[in-house]
A and B are shown apart, each in its own frame.
Chain A
Amino acid sequence: MIQLFDLSKKFGPNVALNDIRLRIRQGEFVFVTGPSGAGKTTLLRLIFGAEKPASGYILINAINLNRISRPKLDLLRRKIGFVFQDFKLLPKKTVSENVAIALEVIGLRPKFIRKKTHQTLRLVGLADKEKAYPLSLSGGEQQRVAIARAIVKDPLILLADEPTGNLDPQLTMEIMELFKSIHRKGTTVVVATHSQELLQGTDCRTIVLNHGKISEDTL
């Protein structure tokens, strides 16, 4: 479960998030939307522990991120998958190596890592690109590598920052189906997007951010 209490975040004089109170239950599928600069990415980064709040608290499965030690944050991150908006892929590593990194840090056996990486790449439709380097891939393919790295460890929470930003409608639907299948296994999925097409007709909970505040929550 993700709980945010009176959460605020500032970057210098700019207020990115202001007095956010939010509860996302385990196994929920949530969209966070709003215009650019509304604070979507900041919100995800705070949940991930990549930013520290100016005030307020963040609890992840009852763990207070404000008081978490560095080693415990590392362990917590192994249970959270993050799809970064800029993918954060390593250009000098192959697609397979980029995905395998998420399992290597856990210290799993190389044989299992190879098998699981292959399975996940097949799931995102990149089984034939295992040996390719990220820069030789299209934007959509790079995005799928980033998604594969986030889901390869079967995370409890999946945070995705504009995961369909570079994808065509067909691929967007495929990725969303992928997220839904992960969600069906019990993973909490939080997708930050400004794409209205993605939200049309969805029955998932949608949180709208505006100027760092929650202006709407369809809970």
Chain B
Amino acid sequence: MRSYFVRQALINIRKNLSVHILSLGTIVASLLILGLFLLLFGNLNNWLQRWGSALSMSIYLKDGISEYRRDKVDSFIRGLPGAEIKRFISKEEALKDLRAALGDDAGFLSRLERNPLPASYEVVFGSKGTYGVNPEKIKGELEKLDGVEEVQYSKEWLKKLEGFLDVVRLIGFIIGGLLCLCVVFIVTNTIKLTLYSRKDEIEILKLVGATDWFVKSPFLLEGMIQGTIGGILAVLTLFLGYLILPTHISLLGLAPLDFVFLPAGYLILILILGTVLGVIGSFIAIGRFFEV
């Protein structure tokens, strides 16, 4: 009997091929957008975790700091757990860096009477030592040291980025939910069209003693096939797109970031979602069709 259901489902699809292709295209588009959101969100999350796990700090020194005071600051930094001095930037180097960054617009710098830029340390806290590091406390202690002008650390803007990520997540949920509804709506209407085109056959099947499930099963299968194929095509399109687009992204002048593809779990989720939405859509369509 199972082969009968599969045969009937395939016959239904073949007989309404154009409708099915159109609806499949829309399902693929919907699941693709959903996949893109997952891809974007997953990568943003990854990057945030990477940046978040590498806390960086800039320690600006007062002008005219003595060698002795600078050594004190130096040894204090080296004594911090997980801290690594990436670079000491002298006043001259800071000016040189600024000149390089400004390029053609750097002309005004030569008119300055004195170098206004402070010397600084660039300190990175390795990922191992980050958890448990209280940047606010370190900042406070450093600023108490004689010769330290100001301390800035990366967490401040990471917090803002986390807030942005929350917004992305919320938008993702809303759009994802709407897209899921869209898929269900499309499948429902496609199956309804098939149902109407086979109305006479359904009536006859019921009159010769077919159970509701005997009649319904091919339609449920039809929706399931449609949803599953939609899911597979969406995942394949997403993967092709990923292959074409650059996988190394340099953002905000930071170190290049890897743009990674969705993990297997997410891909399976899209496939299952397509199948489940297909079944739900056909379930709604066949709901009240069998009162003969």
Interface of A with B (CB < 8 Å)? 48, 50, 70-71, 74-80, 82, 84, 88, 90, 93, 101-102, 104-107, 110, 149, 153
Contacts and interface: CB of A to CB of B under 8 A. Distances in A.
A205 to B, nearest CB: 26
Interface residues of B, number: 17
B68 to A, nearest CB: 95
Given A50-B292, A78-B209, A101-B208, 18 more contacts: A48-B207, A74-B209, A74-B210, A75-B211, A76-B209, A77-B207, A77-B208, A77-B209, A80-B209, A82-B207, A84-B207, A88-B200, A90-B201, A101-B204, A105-B205, A105-B208, A106-B209, A153-B208
Nearest to B213: A71
A107 B208 CA distance: 12
Nearest to A48: B207
A118 to B, nearest CB: 18
Interface in B203-247: 203-212, 214
B208 A90 contact: no
Interface of B: 1, 3-4, 200-201, 203-212, 214, 292
A88 B207 CA distance: 10
B203 A88 contact: yes
Contact of A71 (B1, B200, B212): B212
Contacts, number: 50
B250 to A, nearest CB: 61
Q: Is the interface of B mostly helix, strand, loop or mixed?
A: helix
Contacts of A84: 207
Contact of A78 (B201, B204, B208, B292): B208
A6 B244 CA distance: 77
Contacts of B292: 50
Nearest to B212: A70
A76 B200 CA distance: 21
A105 B212 CA distance: 10
A186 B267 CA distance: 61
Nearest to A103: B208
B199 to A, nearest CB: 11
Nearest to B1: A107
A82 B203 CA distance: 13
A78 B209 CA distance: 5
Contacts of B4: 104
B159 to A, nearest CB: 61
